[in-house]
Amino acid sequence: MTPSTKSPDASESKALATLARGTYAPPNSATDVRSPCPVINALANHGYLPRDGRNVSASELQTAMRKVVGLSLPLAALLSNPIFLEHHPVPEGQDPKSPSLITKLWAALHNPWAVFPDFAMRHPGQVDATGRPVMDLDQLALHGKVEHDVSLTRLDIAQGDNLTSQPELVKTLLDASSDGGKTLSIEDLAALRKRRIEKQREDNPSLTYTAREHKLACGESALLVGVFGEAKGVRVDYARAVLEDERLPVEEGWKKKWWSVGILGIGKLSKKVTANTSATAAIGPSNTHPLSRREPIYDAPDNEAVDVKPPLAPLAPSSAGSDDEARLLSMFW
């Protein structure tokens, strides 16, 4: 008998690919890729997205968000389609040029989601063998699009790895429960975000955290509560499954809501997170990293300490953010 020439990694990947959809299995670290988003990773770990995390289409992501996670069609489309626009990197040292109105209108005629170019992450011409636009999940780590500094589970990009979940950060998040480890409330998540902002201001001199990043961050906490919890918070065991194991908490008793989780509901929860977060001053400097090109709302001089304790005024989009970006964010507010 001729011995097999397949590597253990290849055999493991093949075995994972044959698992029934819905069955949880962690990724093969040697061959599979994952995103900075625990929920998207959970969808791949359960086989609702390609288990290797490669060649994922917008329709696959949108369908999984709707049918498995329970998002409404508008919200699932909003979170899926803009990121599949082609990303054209700006050469280092050059300022990005805003396209003309005619260019925007022409692009929108071909693809209505083109009005949100600031969320584009797909490589130019990136398609599968059938010509279908696709992305790999690790492309979602492109900094300054959806991924941002001051994540509750990932490092900042200037600290090295902004893609991989950090066990100590996840533990800190789960330990933030104020009722003895039963529930993570909106207030718990907001208080943790304030602490993270203050810590990252000390640990990361290249930190970029403007109103745009703050809205995205509060929206992420709102999605965790809206999808896996109730209005006031999410069970810690549910959060542990999602954030630590990157697994849907079915074993713990979670079921998709019978109603769709929509833009208005997530927007209300996001407002609650923000209302309980007193750090409204944006953090800079934003130009110390080549991928950080947005102006912070407030840039402290080198010799001036920034105090985030006073209550914040309502956040507004970063002054350098595009109108398209502001419109997208406004759908949550």
Per residue in 222-276, pLDDT (tens digit) is 999 999 999 889 999 999 999 999 999 999 999 999 999 999 999 999 999 999 8
Q: What does the pLDDT average to over 67-93?
A: 92
| Per-residue pLDDT at 88 | 87
User: Any idea which architecture 21-152+163-330 has in CATH?
Assistant: Orthogonal Bundle (1.10)
| Per-residue pLDDT at 47 | 97
Q: Smallest Cα–Cα separation from 68: which of 304, 298, 227?
A: 227
More confident residue, 103 or 239: 239
Beta bridge partners of 56: 135
Q: What does the pLDDT average to over 60-76?
A: 97
| Per-residue pLDDT at 10 | 60
The two three-digit tokens of residue 69, written as one number: 């996670």
| Confidence band for 304, pLDDT divided at 50, 70 and 90 | very low
Q: What does the pLDDT average to over 188-199?
A: 95
Q: Smallest Cα–Cα separation from 24: which of 58, 8, 47?
A: 47
Which amino acid is present at 330? Answer: S
- Average pLDDT score over the chain: 82
Global pTM reads: 0.80
pLDDT value at 317 more than 80: no
Beta carbons within 8 Å of 153's beta carbon, 6+ residues apart: 38, 165, 166, 169, 170, 173, 243
pLDDT value at 3 more than 50: no
- Choose from 98-112, 239-253, 308-322 the range with maximum mean pLDDT: 239-253
Angle at CA of residue 314, ends 313 and 318, nearest 5°: 105
Beta carbons within 8 Å of 301's beta carbon, 6+ residues apart: none
104-113, 139-148, 189-198, 320-329: which range is least confident on average?
320-329
Q: Smallest Cα–Cα separation from 197: which of 210, 186, 184?
A: 210
* Helix/strand/coil for 291: coil
pLDDT value at 300 more than 80: no
| Per-residue pLDDT at 228 | 98
| Per-residue pLDDT at 106 | 79
The two three-digit tokens of residue 89, written as one number: 């990197």
Beta bridge partners of 230: 233
| Per-residue pLDDT at 109 | 81
pLDDT digits (tens, 9 = 90+) for 167-193: 999 999 999 999 999 999 999 999 999
The answer for 204, left when phi > 0, alpha when psi is -120 to 50, beta otherwise, is beta
Determine the angle formed by the axes of helices 263-275 and 73-80, rounding to 10 degrees.
70
The two three-digit tokens of residue 332, written as one number: 């949550």
- The residue with tokens 């759908």 is 331
Neighbours of 85 (CB within 10 A): 21
Work out the percent of the chain whose per-residue pLDDT is above 90: 66
